[in-house]
Chain A
Amino acid sequence: MKPARFDYQRAESAAEACEALAELGGDARVLAGGQSLVPMLNMRLAQPRLLVDISRIEALQKIERSGGRLLVGAGARQAALLSHDGLAEAAPLLAAALPWVGHAQTRARGTVCGSLAHADPSAELPTCLLALQGAVRLRSSRRHRELPAEAFLAGLMSTAREDDELVEAAAFPLRRAGEGQAFREFGRRHGDFAIVGAAAVVSAQRIRLAVGGVADRPMARDWPALEGSALDDALNAFAWELGARDDLHASARLRRDLVRALGREAIEEARRCRA
């Protein structure tokens, strides 16, 4: 399996990358860590005319806190975020979910924004971005804009990114006081894509649960601070609303079971972490 031919340009700045994207649009693809894109090139599921390599643009590699959010640049690798100082306090959901993203060998290269842009419905990072009500910053030669997670994640491996836009950074809200966060996942083997992944963010008044791996994109629900059977009912309704289907990896019924079970576990753990 070898990629089809493409031109290659190592961009030295985000502006240069955007110019190349403006010129070729959908015929160009952005290469950052390559952990999703290069398999697609090797299998020839993607055959772009140009690869724009942004992996050496230092300005895009930053991970910084600003305005109550953790900003993760397009070139920042998953391993860099996982070892970011104080991540477990600032964004406990990311600290819990990142070890589930691929393997150590792919996290060392794969980027956070690359995973978001790839938008696999069972990937952990889009589910987390949605649970945290984060956003994605997009940049083109025409404009800069920011889209909230639910607007960015548009469907099965598809996002609201226009062909000439570069995902410049992801913005994850920092944990607020009194908030608990937790992540649960079930897959065939650790490192495989999730059959179901569940991310919970819980405060005194509300519960937010995002679930990946069931619908064509991660989906979230907000509830007041439900308990006991009221929470079971809400989880059950959510599990049915996701429209699970049978496929090679799991039956629809197993997926609904997992949404109920992992959803509850994640919410309960998030509650414990609030204390």
Chain B
Amino acid sequence: MPRLSADRRTEVRFTLNGRPVAGLAEPRLLLSDFLRHVVGATGTHVGCEHGVCGACTVRIDGGLARSCLTLAVQVEGCTVETVEGLAPGPARLSVLQEAFRRHHALQCGFCTAGILMSLDTLLRDEPAADKARIEEVLGGHLCRCTGYGPIVSAALDAAERLSEDPGAGDAPEERDGDV
């Protein structure tokens, strides 16, 4: 592939939550900034910008990734998924998101997008994940509000629902009405 020059912006194209997106990026532009500032998808948050806090976690080609440790030019042609893609519809939440709401698994919400991506991926791969596995995956994130307990409870609750009914992730779910 030809070398991309440091000062030139080139077009980057990839699939974001099932839709094609394109935008201009210098080689040094981080994927986190491309998502937020070029595409306008601000669901993905940025905390530490060196891979420690997990706020910016997304999925690239099905696997977890820190978007602050990924260059936008690196995801050319890839499939990227962010928190905006988790809900099955505009007025509905995923099983995991519903569980977060029931268990008050977020306060300020800064960490939430990244944590949802990690736990969604865990429950996708291991619908019956236990507490130890959930805590292990949560270890890759920092939350300064909740003390983590409610997040673990929410994930366990979601795991229980998903392993009882593996289709629950895709099926429409009524809201709890506890707004």
User: Is B136 interfacial (CB-CB < 8 Å)?
Assistant: yes
Asked if A6 meets B27 with Cβ closer than 8 Å, knowing A191-B139, A191-B140, the reply is yes
Contact B4–A109 (Cβ < 8 Å): no
CB distance A5 to B6 under 8 Å? yes
B65 within 8 A of A: yes
**Segment from A37-45, A66-74, A246-254 that makes contact with B:** A37-45
Known contacts A9-B4, A11-B1; A103/B63 CB under 8 A? no
Cα-based distance from A33 to B28 in the complex (angstroms): 15
- The reply to whether the CB of A177 lies closer than 8 angstroms to some CB of chain B is no
Asked whether B70 lies within 8 Å of A51 as measured between CB atoms, the reply is no
Asked if B73 and A39 sit within 8 Å, CB to CB, the answer is: no
Kindly state the interface size class of chain B when it binds its partner: 35 or more
In the assembled complex, the CB of B114 is this many whole angstroms from the nearest CB of chain A, namely 8
| Residues of A contacting B: mostly | loop
Interface size on A, residues (CB 8 A): 37
A106 in the interface (beta carbon within 8 A): yes
A-B contact count (CB 8 A): 108
Question: Does A176 sit within 8 A of B, measured CB to CB?
Answer: no
- A105→B70 contact, CB < 8 A: no
Q: Given that A6-B6, A6-B27 are known contacts, is A39 also in contact with B1, CB under 8 Å in the complex?
A: no
B51 touches A39 (CB 8 A): yes
For residue B66, CB closer than 8 A to chain A, the reply is: yes
Cβ contacts A221-240/B at 8 Å (1 or 0 each): 00000000000000000000
Are B65 and A42 interface neighbours, CB within 8 A?
no
Which of B28, B118, B136 is the most central at the interface, judged by chain A CB atoms within 10 Å of its CB? Answer: B28
**What residues of chain A have their CB less than 8 Å away from a CB belonging to chain B?**
1-12, 20, 31, 34-35, 38-39, 41-43, 49-51, 53, 55, 79, 102-106, 108-109, 189-191
Which B residues form the contact surface with A (CB < 8 A)? 1-7, 26-28, 30, 33, 49-51, 54, 57, 60, 63-66, 68-71, 73-74, 76, 118, 122, 136-137, 139-140
* Closest 8 A/B residue pairs (Cβ): A103-B140, A8-B27, A5-B6, A39-B50, A38-B69, A105-B140, A108-B63, A9-B3
